[in-house]
C-alpha cells in the first residue's frame, strides 16, 4: 500500500471479552475471548477484507470498532480520535461518519417501518433534513442503489433479499459517511444476486470515495473487492497483506489451508494442486490455547508455539504475519 495514503482507521490491541456468569449470585466464572488483541490500519478510499472461519471474531471486531460493543481493551482511532474514549453526544456526532451494512437483510430492517422511514431514519435522528427535502433525499438514495423510488411506501416483507440489502445500503450511505463496515453483506443472498450487491458497493465507493471494511468468508469475493486482506483465527489476526501478495504467497499455515480450500474453475489445475487439510476442530474461545492460537491444528507447530504468542511482524513491505516459522515459506 502507498505509504503516503492517509490512515482513516487505526485499531490497536483491540480486545472484546464477553463475561460468563453462573449461579444464584451471578459470579463471573470466565469470559469468551471473542477478539483478543487485534491490530490493523485502514487507509482512506480502500477496501480492507477481513476473512476467517465462522465464529473467529470478524463481526465482533466490526461492532467493537463502531462501539456497538464497548471494547474490553484497546484503542480505535478514527480520523485521529480514539472512539473508545468518546461518550454520549460526542460519540453520536462521530456516528454520522461511520455506518454498517448488516449481514441479514431480513433481520436488520424493521418490519413495521416503510422503506421511506427506514432510509430516512438516520437523517431524522441527526436532524439533517425534514419535510420535502427529506422525501427528495430518500428518492435520490433509492435511485442510487437501483431501487424504484415509487417503492418508498412499501414494507420490507414486500421485497426480495437482494432488494432488502439495497435498502440497507441506502440507509448506510444516507448521511454521506466516510467509512462503512460491510458485515458479510452478501452471505444471506442468492449467488446470482451477490455480484449485483458487490458491484453496487464498488460503484458507490468510486462515486463517494468511501472506505470499506469488508467482512466475509467467501475468499474469491474478497479477492475481487479488496485491496488488502486480513486473515483472522480465534480472535487474532494471523496475516495481513496486499490482496495479490496474500493469495499468491501466503506465509501463515492457516492462510495456506484456507486458500487451498477455495474451488478453482479449471479441473486440471484443481487436481494438480496440493490441499492442506486441517486436523481437529476450532478450540473454544472460552479457553483458547496458550501461545499461538492456531498451534493445536497447525501442521508445523513446535514447542515454542505453545509457550510464546508469535509477534505480528512485517516480513515483506506491507505483509504482516503472526507465525514463529514464517521464514520457511518465504
Residue 81: give its domain's CATH number. Answer: 3.40.50.300
**HSE-up of residue 270 (Cα within 13 Å, Cβ side):** 7
Residue with cell 437483510: 105
Classify the phi-psi angles of 55: left when phi > 0, otherwise alpha if psi is within -120 to 50, otherwise beta.
left
Residue with cell 495514503: 5
Cell of 120: 430516512
Residue 198 lies in a domain: no
Residue 134 lies in a domain: no
Cα–Cα nearest to 119, from 95, 138, 97: 138
Identify the pLDDT of residue 1.
47
Residue 145 lies in a domain: no
Helical H runs in the chain? 58-65, 88-94, 115-125, 131-144, 161-173, 191-208, 219-225, 243-248, 253-260, 267-272, 303-307
Q: What contacts 249, CB < 8 A, 6 or more positions away?
A: 319, 329
State the pairing for strand pair 236-242/228-233: antiparallel
Q: What is the dihedral of CA 296, 300, 301, 304, to 10 degrees?
A: -160
User: What are φ and ψ of residue 88, in 5° steps?
Assistant: 50, -125
> What is the rounded distance in angstroms from the CA atom of residue 101 to the CA atom of residue 185?
6
State the pairing for strand pair 228-233/47-51: parallel
State the pairing for strand pair 73-78/81-82: antiparallel
> What is the rounded distance in angstroms from the CA atom of residue 37 to the CA atom of residue 291?
13
Residue 267 lies in a domain: yes
Identify the pLDDT of residue 278.
79
Helical H runs in 126-181? 131-144, 161-173
- Whether 231 and 255 have beta carbons less than 8 Å apart is answered as yes
Residue 123 lies in a domain: no
Q: How many domains does the chain have?
A: 1
Residue 63 lies in a domain: yes
| Residue pLDDT, tens place only, 238-249 | 999 999 999 999
**Helices 131-144 + 161-173 axis angle, to 10:** 130
The partner residues of 99 in beta bridges, in order of sequence, read 180
Identify the pLDDT of residue 187.
86
Residue with cell 471494511: 213
Give the count of beta carbons closer than 10 Å to the beta carbon of residue 54: 10
> What is the rounded distance in angstroms from the CA atom of residue 107 to the CA atom of residue 115?
14
Instruction: Tell me how far apart the 2 most distant CA atoms of the chain are, in Å.
Output: 68
> What is the rounded distance in angstroms from the CA atom of residue 115 to the CA atom of residue 138?
9
- Whether 40 and 213 have beta carbons less than 8 Å apart is answered as no
Helix, strand or coil for residue 4? coil
Residue 200 lies in a domain: no
Question: 94 is in which domain, residue-wise?
Answer: 7-111+179-187+209-329
pLDDT tens over the chain, length 330 residues: 455 689 999 999 999 999 999 999 999 999 999 999 999 999 999 999 999 988 899 999 999 999 999 999 999 999 999 999 998 889 999 999 999 999 888 899 999 999 999 999 999 999 888 889 999 999 999 999 999 999 999 999 999 989 999 999 999 999 999 999 999 998 888 888 888 999 999 999 999 999 999 999 888 889 999 999 999 999 999 999 999 999 999 999 999 999 887 777 777 776 777 777 777 788 999 999 999 999 999 989 999 999 999 999 999 999 999 999 999 888
What is the length of the chain? Answer: 330
Amino acid at each position: 500500500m502507498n505509504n503516503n495514503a492517509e490512515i482513516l482507521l487505526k485499531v490497536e490491541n483491540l480486545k472484546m471479552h464477553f463475561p460468563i456468569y453462573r449461579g444464584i449470585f451471578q459470579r463471573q466464572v470466565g469470559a469468551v475471548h471473542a477478539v483478543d488483541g487485534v491490530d490493523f490500519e485502514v487507509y482512506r478510499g480502500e477496501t480492507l477484507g477481513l476473512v476467517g472461519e465462522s465464529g473467529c471474531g470478524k463481526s465482533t471486531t466490526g461492532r467493537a470498532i463502531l462501539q456497538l460493543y464497548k471494547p474490553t481493551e484497546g484503542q480505535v482511532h478514527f480520523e485521529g480520535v480514539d472512539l473508545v474514549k468518546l461518550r454520549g453526544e460526542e460519540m453520536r456526532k462521530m456516528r454520522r461518519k461511520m455506518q454498517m451494512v448488516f449481514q441479514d437483510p431480513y433481520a436488520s430492517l424493521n418490519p413495521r417501518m416503510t422503506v421511506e422511514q427506514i432510509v430516512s431514519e438516520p437523517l431524522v435522528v441527526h436532524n439533517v433534513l425534514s419535510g420535502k427535502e427529506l422525501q427528495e433525499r430518500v428518492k435520490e438514495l433509492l435511485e442510487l442503489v437501483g431501487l424504484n423510488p415509487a417503492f418508498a411506501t412499501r414494507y420490507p416483507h414486500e421485497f426480495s433479499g437482494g432488494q432488502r440489502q439495497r435498502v440497507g445500503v441506502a440507509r448506510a450511505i444516507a448521511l454521506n459517511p466516510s467509512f462503512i463496515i460491510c458485515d458479510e453483506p452478501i452471505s444471506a443472498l442468492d449467488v446470482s444476486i451477490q455480484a449485483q450487491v458487490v458491484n453496487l458497493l464498488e460503484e458507490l465507493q468510486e462515486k463517494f470515495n468511501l472506505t470499506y471494511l469488508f467482512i466475509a468468508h467467501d475468499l474469491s469475493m474478497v479477492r475481487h473487492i479488496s485491496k488488502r486482506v486480513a486473515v483472522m483465527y480465534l480472535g487474532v489476526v494471523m496475516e495481513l497483506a496486499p490482496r495479490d501478495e496474500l493469495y499468491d504467497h501466503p506465509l501463515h499455515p492457516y492462510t495456506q489451508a484456507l486458500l487451498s480450500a477455495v474451488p478453482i474453475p479449471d479441473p486440471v489445475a484443481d487436481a494438480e494442486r496440493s490441499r492442506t487439510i486441517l486436523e481437529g476442530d476450532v478450540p473454544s474461545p472460552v479457553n483458547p490455547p496458550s501461545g499461538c492460537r492456531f498451534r493445536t491444528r497447525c501442521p508445523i507447530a513446535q514447542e515454542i508455539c505453545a509457550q510464546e504468542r508469535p509477534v505480528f511482524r512485517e516480513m515483506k513491505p506491507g505483509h504482516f504475519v503472526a507465525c514463529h516459522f514464517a521464514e520457511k515459506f518465504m
